Amino acid sequence: MTASLLSQLSQIVGQAFKTVGLDTSYGMVVPSQRRELGQFQCNGALAAAKQAKRNPREIATEVLTELEKTGLFSELTLAGPGFINIRLMDDFLVGHISDLAEDSYFGCRSRHMPMKVILDYGGPNVAKAMHVGHLRATIIGESLRRLREFMGDTAISDVHFGDWGLPMGLLIREIERRQPDLPYFDAGFSGPYPDNSPVTVEELQEIYPAASARSKDDPAFLESARKATFELQKGRAGYLALWQHMRDVSIAETRTDFDLLGAHFTEWKGEADTNDHIPQMMDRLAKEGYSEVSEGAVVINVAEESDKKEMPPLILEKSDGAVMYGTTDLATIEMRREEHDPNAILYIVDARQSLHFEQVFRAARKCNSIGSDCRLEHIGFGTVNGKDGKPLKTRDGGVVRLRSLIEDAIGEARKVIAETGMSERFDTAELDDISTKVGIAAIKYADLSNQRMSNYVFDLERFTKFEGRTGPYQMYAAVRIKSMLRKAAEQNLTEGRLLATHDAERNLMLAIAALPEAITAAAEKNAPNILCDHVYNLSQEFNSFYHECPVLGEANLDIRASRLCLCGITLRQMEKVLYILGIDVPDRM
Ligand code: ARG
Closest CA to 322 of 255, 195, 228: 228
Question: Given the CA of residue 353, which atom of ligand 1 is nearest to it?
Answer: 12
Instruction: With residue 380 as reference, give the H or E element that holds it.
Output: none
Residue 477 in 3-state DSSP? helix
Q: How far is the CA of 124 from the centre of ligand 1 (A)?
A: 7
Question: Given the CA of residue 128, which atom of ligand 1 is nearest to it?
Answer: 4
Is 116-162+270-384 assigned to CATH 1.10.1740.10? no
Question: Given the CA of residue 349, which atom of ligand 1 is nearest to it?
Answer: 7
Residue nearest to atom 11 of ligand 1 (CA): 329
pLDDT score at 494:
94
Q: Domain residue spans in the chain?
A: 5-88, 116-162+270-384, 166-260, 402-580
Distance between CA atoms of residues 420 and 425, nearest Å: 11
Rg (CA), the chain: 29
Closest CA to 441 of 535, 360, 350, 351: 535
DSSP string across 430-475: HHHHHHHHHHHHHHHHHHHTS-TTS-EE--HHHHT-SSSSSHHHHH
Distance of CA 36 to the CA centre of its chain: 35
pLDDT score at 397:
80
Distance between CA atoms of residues 481 and 240, nearest Å: 55
Question: Given the CA of residue 356, which atom of ligand 1 is nearest to it?
Answer: 11
Residue 294 in 3-state DSSP? strand
The four Cα atoms 537, 542, 545, 547 give a dihedral, to 10 degrees, of -110
To test ligand 1's pocket by mutation, which of 134, 160, 335 has the most ligand atoms within 8 angstroms of CB?
Answer: 160
The four Cα atoms 451, 452, 458, 459 give a dihedral, to 10 degrees, of 30
To test ligand 1's pocket by mutation, which of 135, 353, 383, 401 has the most ligand atoms within 8 angstroms of CB?
Answer: 353
Distance between CA atoms of residues 583 and 442, nearest Å: 9
Residue 244 in 3-state DSSP? helix
Distance between CA atoms of residues 324 and 509, nearest Å: 54
Distance between CA atoms of residues 19 and 67, nearest Å: 10
Distance between CA atoms of residues 185 and 166, nearest Å: 17
Distance of CA 556 to the CA centre of its chain: 44
* Domain 402-580: homologous superfamily in CATH: Isoleucyl-tRNA Synthetase; Domain 1 (1.10.730.10)
Q: How far is the CA of 163 from the centre of ligand 1 (A)?
A: 10
To test ligand 1's pocket by mutation, which of 120, 164, 349, 360 has the most ligand atoms within 8 angstroms of CB?
Answer: 349
Q: Which whole-number Å values give the CA distances from 93 to 5, 88, 264, 414, 508, in the listed order?
A: 8, 6, 38, 42, 11
Distance of CA 151 to the CA centre of its chain: 13
Using CB distances shorter than 6 Å, the residues near ligand 1 are 120, 123, 125, 160, 162, 329, 347, 349
Q: How far is the CA of 138 from the centre of ligand 1 (A)?
A: 11
pLDDT score at 322:
83
Assess contact for 129 and 205: CB atoms under 8 A. Answer: yes
Residues in the chain: 589
Question: Given the CA of residue 357, which atom of ligand 1 is nearest to it?
Answer: 11
- Count Cβ atoms below 10 Å from residue 125 Cβ, excluding itself: 20
Residue nearest to atom 3 of ligand 1 (CA): 123
Amino acid at 190: S
Residue 293 in 3-state DSSP? strand
pLDDT score at 170:
96
User: What CATH number should be reported for the domain whose range is 5-88?
Assistant: 3.30.1360.70
Assess contact for 313 and 307: CB atoms under 8 A. Answer: no
Q: How far is the CA of 363 from the centre of ligand 1 (A)?
A: 18
Distance between CA atoms of residues 427 and 450, nearest Å: 35
Residue nearest to atom 5 of ligand 1 (CA): 123
589 residues of the chain, pLDDT tens digit each = 688 999 999 999 999 999 999 999 999 999 998 888 999 999 999 999 999 999 999 999 999 999 999 999 999 999 999 999 999 999 999 999 999 999 999 999 987 899 999 999 999 999 888 888 899 999 999 999 999 999 999 999 999 999 998 999 999 999 999 999 999 999 899 889 999 999 999 999 899 999 999 999 999 999 999 999 999 999 999 999 999 999 999 999 999 999 999 999 999 999 999 999 999 999 999 999 999 999 999 999 999 999 999 999 999 998 888 889 999 999 999 999 999 999 999 999 999 999 999 999 999 999 999 999 999 999 999 999 999 999 898 888 888 889 999 999 999 999 999 988 877 888 999 999 999 999 999 999 999 999 999 999 999 999 999 999 999 999 999 999 999 999 999 999 999 999 999 999 999 999 999 999 999 999 999 999 999 999 999 999 999 999 999 999 999 999 999 999 999 999 999 999 999 999 999 999 8
pLDDT score at 1:
65
- Count Cβ atoms below 10 Å from residue 524 Cβ, excluding itself: 9
Residue nearest to atom 7 of ligand 1 (CA): 123
Q: How far is the CA of 123 from the centre of ligand 1 (A)?
A: 5
Q: How far is the CA of 330 from the centre of ligand 1 (A)?
A: 13
pLDDT score at 422:
79
Backbone angles phi, psi at 576, to 5 degrees: -60, -50
Neighbour-count burial for 216-241, b at 16+ CB within 10 Å, e otherwise: eeeeebbebbbbbbbbbbeebebbbb
Residue 329 in 3-state DSSP? helix
Q: How far is the CA of 454 from the centre of ligand 1 (A)?
A: 20
